Structure 1
């Protein structure tokens, strides 16, 4: 795939290059995949180009990135960027997001969703027979016990933290309509 044949809409951020590792061009990667090693399974990575202005559309914001090695190291991952064998050159790739083409991500079972599919959806509570708009899912976070949706906006402008527990608090997810229905007290 060439740089000009991918658009930002096709890409899903799956990690970030954080810092250099050693002197031979290796870098540390913070993976957003679960388990973290899954990021190494993607054949083509795209690296965010901070030099592209925010007004730039499509592939100009993303550059193809080839890696020739990657492995688990300590509590994280390290990768080697193809053709980069110098620490100073590798440093130019740090603090940049890594994306893959969303269509290359594994298909999920019915009722399962990737976080990027839930972000931006509107959340509506149906509690005690009342329907209350809560706003938009701005992000999700992992807490150990369960994932939590951070929902902001709605008629009261509040931010709410709602456990992502389908069948308990999450009553339905409709990607077509862009709505998540929850059973959550508006007073919380």
Structure 2
């Protein structure tokens, strides 16, 4: 499974990161990446920056590199620190259609949102409605039929099967976890 992206408000885009701050004086900025690998920018050279409230603006990635756990990005047309500063806090998005296909045993997180989540016996647990990404593991937010939130660590021991065609995920949560939301 890959943590390649969060869904963006416009469903034709996927948010892959967020601009943190300028880096240097030549327009480079640091970005917190939500994707598993920055090599995404080797295959996707066009990004859209969403500043909120406006239509995302298109940019071409001139270059990128890793630095202290963040991705440093230079975009064409962003030539100085002031221009990079104006992008602080922007969501970095790509069009879904521009994403490289995932490996055979991987899926993009945005493809899972809205899937029905069921227990091994087929009993409904809820609907996958969000994600919490941490360095240790992803955690899925599942909304139960009663409207409660269940947080499930998205690890192989608990996620048994993902069927994107049927929009169905089979999970076997740790003992007692599902009971917390049904009591």
Aligned to 1:179: 168
Size of the aligned set, in residue pairs, is: 168
Distance 2:14 2:147 in 1: 28
- Structure 1 counterpart of 2:141, from 144, 147, 150: 150
Deviations 1:156-179, CA, capped at 9 Å, x for gaps: 33322222234x322322223322
- Shift of residue 82, structure 1, vs aligned partner: 1.8
Stretch moving more, 134-143 or 82-91:
134-143
- Shift of residue 65, structure 1, vs aligned partner: 1.0
TM-score (norm 2): 0.77
1:92–1:170 CA distance, 2 compared to 1 (3 A): same
- Please list every run of 5 or more consecutive structure 2 residues that lacks an aligned counterpart in the other structure: 1-9
Distance 2:106 2:28 in 1: 35
Stretch moving more, 20-29 or 107-116:
107-116
Say whether the 8 Å CA contact 1:119–1:140 is kept in structure 2: no
Q: Any residues of structure 2 matched to 1:23-42 within 5 Å, and which?
A: 23-35=25-37, 37-41=38-42, 42=44
TM-score (norm 1): 0.75
C-alpha RMSD of matched pairs (Å): 2.5
- Shift of residue 94, structure 1, vs aligned partner: 1.5
Deviations 1:19-43, CA, capped at 9 Å, x for gaps: 11222222111111222x2243121
- Shift of residue 143, structure 1, vs aligned partner: 4.9
Say whether the 8 Å CA contact 1:150–1:161 is kept in structure 2: yes
Aligned to 1:86: 80
- Shift of residue 73, structure 1, vs aligned partner: 2.0
Distance 2:67 2:135 in 1: 23
- Shift of residue 91, structure 1, vs aligned partner: 1.5
1:139–1:79 CA distance, 2 compared to 1 (3 A): same
Who wins on radius of gyration, i.e. which is larger? 1
Say whether the 8 Å CA contact 1:125–1:132 is kept in structure 2: yes
